[in-house]
Chain A
Amino acid sequence: MTDTRDLTRRDFLKTASAATLAALVAGVPNALLAATEPKITPTADAVIVLWMAGGMAHTETFDPKRYAAFRPGMRASEVLSTFPAIPTAASSIQFSQGLEKIAGVMDRGTLIRSYRAGDLGVILHSRHQYQWHTGYAPPQTVAAPHIGAVIAKTLGPKNAAVPAFINIGQRFDLGEGEELKAFTTAGFLGSEFGPFDLPFPDQAVGAVRPPAGMTPSRFENRTKFYNRLVQNSPIIRHGSDYQKESLIRSLDNSHRLLTSPASKAFDLTLEPKESYDKYNTGRFGQGCLLARRLVESGARYVEVTTEYIPFVNWDTHDNGNTRMADLKRQIDGPVAQLILDLEQRGMLDRTLIVLASEFSRDMLTEGRPDLKVPDQVTVPETLTEMKHYGMHRHFTDAGSVLLFGGGVKKGFVYGKTADERPCKIVENPVVIEDLHATIYRALGISPRLAYVIEKRPFYVTRDGLGKPVREILVQG
């Protein structure tokens, strides 16, 4: 078989970078930004979102209040925190017990204690998660893109061999899976910018390897055979057509990705055991390790979730105290290690890490004090059993967000909540569009950037209104 055609094709493909492929397929939508927009100097090149799925109680984690130890017969109203407070490396900040390792790195980051979740009425976790991740409350008239997709579309991949938007730890065939799918998407931006889903970190490498059970030599042989078939196809060989070209090029890109050295980043077995053990508290911990490896290899946006499953993980409708202790154990070591590892590699300064949740929890208040919504959890006035002891209702009037690296201040706390119930925001509320604007600002993206869909601008923060929380950024 002659190789000249192959060579020609290979030359052609060499010139067809990922960018031209994207240009080929991404006729729509166009970005738009007013000409008067000032240029923003980015302070971060990559983002890792650590997602505490299910509603993380601020009073049990990063914003401890008066501790009341469990005793049968205690009144529910007595309980603000079910753990004592502990000091952190930042002298003005205390955490809740069980987060000692993250406390040890708090001098590297900023804590927002005044995240205010949306007023979306009766609680549906996935709806708040939708709003957190897209900036818009569902339903929407167009398919709203996930923040990871916006970043992927706007900045592109950092390394062409690593997908720009990687989503670790979430399965979609469990409760509210359809609702999760509705926002874990590039939406109208087009699937090129959609998530690369890796539900099981320890199996992630399978997604970037030749198919299961196929040896590398068979994989190469199959690719070669396919390329020869394409070259010798007697029909539609001639003429330019974006469908044909995009198909051939996308397969070539996928082949390159599957055989790229970057795919090693997905393989957790290549991590030294000592390091692996520091992360290995379970799937979430492994996810943090995978995120670190991917960011090292040039990932742009990585999200690691504790996984949302109704009534599981952070969705503590009962046994809050007991479950909280385990949840903290899952996140404490890996999150701290992620910060330390990135710092040690000199990457923390250019990587923004955001730990967040869709809303907080409280023992008594469902929704917010001035806008209560129907209770979904029965809480007895008097606690008789341990299972009653914990933050079981969904609270939207305060929440903690932890940020590290990527241009945020160190050892800094922003916003304040009341020390007595309701432990709501009393200072500097931050809403989702402002939090997004802050992340975007770190990446050099304007909150007023919009993409045109159906002739109208769809802004990356709600209606272009997001304002970065300048106080927490080093460059302001």
Chain B
Amino acid sequence: MTIHPKAIFRFCTVSLLGIVGLVFLSTPNVHSASPPAPVSYEHDVKPILQAHCYSCHGNGARLGDFAIDSRTGLLTGGQIHPVVLPGSSAKSYLIKMVTGQIPGEVMPASGPRLTPREISVLSAWIDQGVSFGETHTADSWTAPLAPTRPKLPVAAPGSGLTNPIDRLLQPYFAGAKLTPGPVVDDRTFLRRVSLDTVGLLPSPEDIHTFELDKRPGKRARQAAKLLGDNRAYADHWLSFWNDMLRNDYIGTGYIDGGRTQISGWLYSALLTNMPYNQFATELINPPTPDSAGFSKGISWRGTVNASQTPAMQVSQIVSQVFLGINLKCASCHNSFVSTWKLADSYGMAGVYSDGPLEMVRCDKPTGHIAPIKFLYPQLGSIDGTAPRAKRMAQLAAALTSPSDGRFARTFVNRLWAKMMGRGLVEPTDEMDNRPWNPALLDWLAADFADHGCDVKRTILLIATSRAYQMPSVGQSSERASNYHFTGPVVKRMTAEQFHDAVSTLTGDWPQPAFMPVSTSGKVVFQSQALLSGSVPIDVNIAGAHSLILVATNGVPNTYAYDWADWVDPVVSGPHGDIRLTDLKRASGTTGYGVIRTDENVVEQPIRLGDKTFPHGIGTHARSEIVYLLPPGVTRFRALAGPDTGALEKSAAAKDASAASIIFSVRTDDSPYLYHRADLAVSDPLERALGRPNREQAVTERLTAATTLQALELTNGATLAGMLDKGADLWAGSDPRSPAQRINTLYEMALGRPPTPLERQMALQQIGTPLTKTGMDDLLWSLVMLPEFQLVY
């Protein structure tokens, strides 16, 4: 990384946001800093010069024809002397002058002399080499912008390597004198790849089938099968994107309409594996309101600092998410740690504004207008005079241009980091840093771009590499330096993965805040949007395994009484009619309240039109209710419509839209019977485990366990409640013996049977006869195990 020399001096006095030679303190004893510590120009030296020297030699004053308020001034001085000589304070003119070594020429000529401490700071700074910027040595690496297509090395004879990643890693391993060992066993692989691609633990059946499969290529097939489960994939990657695009179901900004969700658009983009370039384009230049929330940003009520206007937020987040560039510093002043300038941030923000913006430096308007432009004008120009929509299209085109290698590199690096626990470039938001394997990064990026920015394809490529299948490697700390790739890094389950894994064991899944539109199965009935009245349903469902009753909003409305009734729902079969409400509901969601039987969603009698009905289901759109069907049923009948009570309410309320509901019925052989944690509002357990407030774009979560987390895990009500339900399930009536249950539990939780010792300990723990509390404590202990919580 390079530092723009001028940038150092164009800092602003009210906001010293330059990181310079600073004292890093590793202990709470923050005041123990003493001389050998590196001296900072900004913090230590400059204030001294400012106080004693600038009145004559700075801020425009050039007495004796020199000024020392700049690097040039200090290093070249006036006509006679350099002011400072790096490395030698004794020979430096500055020190000679301030210590009075030159008779009659002691400086400052007026005002108090420098204190011994001040002189020692200046001397130390000169002796330390006159650093104006960061204390660490400059990295000569310059990240390329254009894509490159490194040649794939030939696989070493007999190596059997086919995956391009492994071929690219051959020289790396050879150079590091590393010989990759054997790949992990099937169970480890299956657990790892399941958690990494769909976020779920593999089921005991999956493990069994996978182990029994003796055909070659089964790991690649398994990875492809997992990625082919579109809904599970979308459910898992939703968190990753919600974090980055700061999309959430509740949060700051919504209170005043200062924020808009993109959940529906995002979920459907994941479900269909939307090409990444199109994905970015639709975020930057939304074709419909569904993806507009991203570039709308987050607005709180009241006035906002110039660097945090919605347009500036877009400028920052687009560059962070899609390019691994941090413009946050350069939103207030020219960056001290990169070459980005205020004009760059404002230039891009201008795209989203009414026109070019006046730059505001550290809260002070500069009077200068930043021409509208993309960070890399060579990738595409933006016509500052064009209407906003056109400018947004031009920005999207420039960003996703095939010449923009950085766009693809940034993203494949994120995928690599998700799968491997650590990026090729770290941190993943700082794509100017040197990758540990530039050829691999470049190849992956080019391959990704050359294949239609197909996200799943690159994930599959990584998942099927030998590199991914190597034994995992533990790290010594969260940000361990001196990284060498020797296998995937051990990861901790995310908050959502942990929540889902516990739900898998306990059967206790959360109520979703966002309900994706199901696309699997077959629609056997669909009504018009009903504003009143009712519609009879009588459809053939012969052979179906499940029946799904769906009520959706007919018109997009923010606030309406969408009480949906299913009156007298029955399925008929060989033994006559069965009331649906007599069957056990496999799952159900409702947009408001809870699903009611024989009354509407607000616990009043069900009314359609002017009739009242004693039997039926009362819910609120959106709602999906799933029943698993007994064998042999052939037809489903019901009467459906918006509840009359809702129509009366809507009519009476000033601010509510009219009720409008579409009723549909689907059958599905493998219906989704639960909703995953990332579709629900964050709960205290997830918050403790690191699911972030999505106020800022979060691209990496800290994952080390903390005491506050452990407290939540040990006595928090959320987990306790889930485990209680789980204990009911596992301690309830069950033909299986306690030992069999323990076997299954271990298979589900840890992907392996218990060792004889573990089985014996677990049996002892659950008690004879088996007790619910014993089972509860066993469940807790299992989910606390590092083996459970880590993805290894």
Contact = CB atoms under 8 A, between A and B. Distances in A.
B501 interface: no
A226 interface: yes
Interface in A207-227: 207-212, 218, 221-222, 225-226
A280 to B, nearest CB: 25
Interface of B: 14-19, 22-26, 28, 30-31, 33-35, 37-40, 43-44, 47-48, 117-118, 121, 250-252, 254-256, 298-305, 307-308, 313, 316, 326, 328-329, 331, 336-337, 429, 474-480, 490-492, 688, 690, 692-693, 695-696, 702-711, 713-715, 717, 720, 750, 752, 755, 757-758, 761, 765, 773, 777-778, 780-782, 784-787, 789-790, 792
A251 B710 contact: yes
7 contacts: A28-B702, A225-B765, A226-B781, A235-B752, A243-B786, A454-B429, A465-B14
Contacts of B785: 226, 229-230, 233
Contacts of A229: 758, 761, 781-782, 785
Given A120-B302, A258-B715, A25 B40 contact: no
Query: Most chain-B Cβ atoms within 10 A of its Cβ — which of A190, A191, A226, A249?
Result: A191
Contacts of B755: 232, 234
A119 B34 CA distance: 40
Contacts of B480: 27, 242
Contact of A457 (B19, B25, B31, B256): B19
A21 B702 CA distance: 15
Shortest 3 CB-CB contacts between residues of A and residues of B? A241-B474, A121-B303, A34-B43
A18 B326 CA distance: 34
Given A234-B755, A454-B326, 4 more contacts: A178-B255, A233-B785, A244-B474, A457-B19
Interface residues of A, number: 100
Contacts of B299: 139
Contacts of B250: 178
A121 B479 contact: no
Contact of B713 (A138, A254, A446): A254
B470 to A, nearest CB: 14
Contacts of A179: 252, 255, 300
Query: Most chain-A Cβ atoms within 10 A of its Cβ — which of B22, B299, B713?
Result: B22
Nearest to B37: A35
A243 B31 contact: no
B117 A36 contact: yes
A452 B19 contact: yes
B757 A254 contact: no
Contacts of A23: 26
Given A225-B777, A243-B491, A246-B705, A207 B696 contact: no
Contacts of A127: 300-302
A34 to B, nearest CB: 3
Contact of A185 (B30, B40, B300, B693): B693
Contacts of A120: 302-303
Contact of B328 (A30, A208, A456): A456
Contacts of B789: 247
Contacts of A57: none
A190 B479 CA distance: 13
A122 B773 CA distance: 54
Given A218-B773, A250-B706, A445-B30, A36 B44 contact: yes
B787 A253 contact: no
B298 A139 contact: yes
Given A230-B786, A463-B16, A34 B303 contact: no
Given A30-B24, A32-B23, A455 B255 contact: no
Nearest to B118: A36
A210 B777 CA distance: 12
A182 interface: yes
A24 B704 contact: yes
Query: Most chain-B Cβ atoms within 10 A of its Cβ — which of A209, A251, A455?
Result: A455
A418 interface: no
A192 B707 contact: yes
Query: Most chain-A Cβ atoms within 10 A of its Cβ — which of B15, B326, B429, B715?
Result: B715
A25 B706 contact: yes
B714 A254 contact: yes
B474 A248 contact: no
Interface of A: 1, 18-19, 21, 23-25, 27-28, 30-37, 39-40, 119-124, 127, 137-143, 154-156, 163, 176, 178-179, 181-182, 185, 190-192, 194, 196, 206-212, 218, 221-222, 225-226, 228-230, 232-236, 239-244, 246-251, 253-255, 257-258, 373, 444-446, 448-450, 452, 454-457, 463-465
A449 B25 CA distance: 10
Contacts of B40: 34-35
Contact of B25 (A30, A36, A181, A236): A30
B492 A243 contact: yes
Contacts of B308: 139-141
Nearest to B792: A236
A257 B492 CA distance: 24
A238 to B, nearest CB: 9
B391 to A, nearest CB: 23
A446 B250 CA distance: 36
A181 B44 CA distance: 37
B784 A226 contact: yes
Query: Most chain-A Cβ atoms within 10 A of its Cβ — which of B25, B118, B250?
Result: B25
B707 A233 contact: no
Contacts of A21: 707
A232 B757 contact: yes
Given A139-B298, A235-B787, A33 B31 contact: yes
Nearest to B751: A235
A48 B24 CA distance: 29
A208 B787 CA distance: 26
B474 A242 contact: yes
Contacts of B714: 210-211, 251, 254-255, 258
Contacts of B492: 243, 247
A142 B697 CA distance: 9
Contacts of A154: 28, 30
Given A142-B696, A225-B765, A244 B302 contact: no
B694 to A, nearest CB: 10
Nearest to A244: B786
Contacts of B38: 35
Given A33-B23, A457-B16, A141 B328 contact: yes
Contact of A36 (B43, B331, B704): B43
B26 A30 contact: yes
A453 B164 CA distance: 36
B551 to A, nearest CB: 27
B693 A236 contact: no
Given A225-B777, A255-B714, A233 B761 contact: no
Nearest to A239: B474
Contacts of B703: 243
Contacts of B254: 178
B25 A242 contact: no
Contacts of A240: 474, 476
A454 to B, nearest CB: 6
Contacts of A244: 474, 490, 786, 790
A35 B478 contact: no
A222 B777 contact: yes
Contact of A242 (B15, B475, B706, B710): B475
Nearest to B24: A30
A143 B313 CA distance: 14
Contact of B30 (A31, A194, A457): A31
A301 B755 CA distance: 47
Given A122-B301, A178-B254, A250 B709 contact: yes
A244 to B, nearest CB: 4
B302 A123 contact: yes
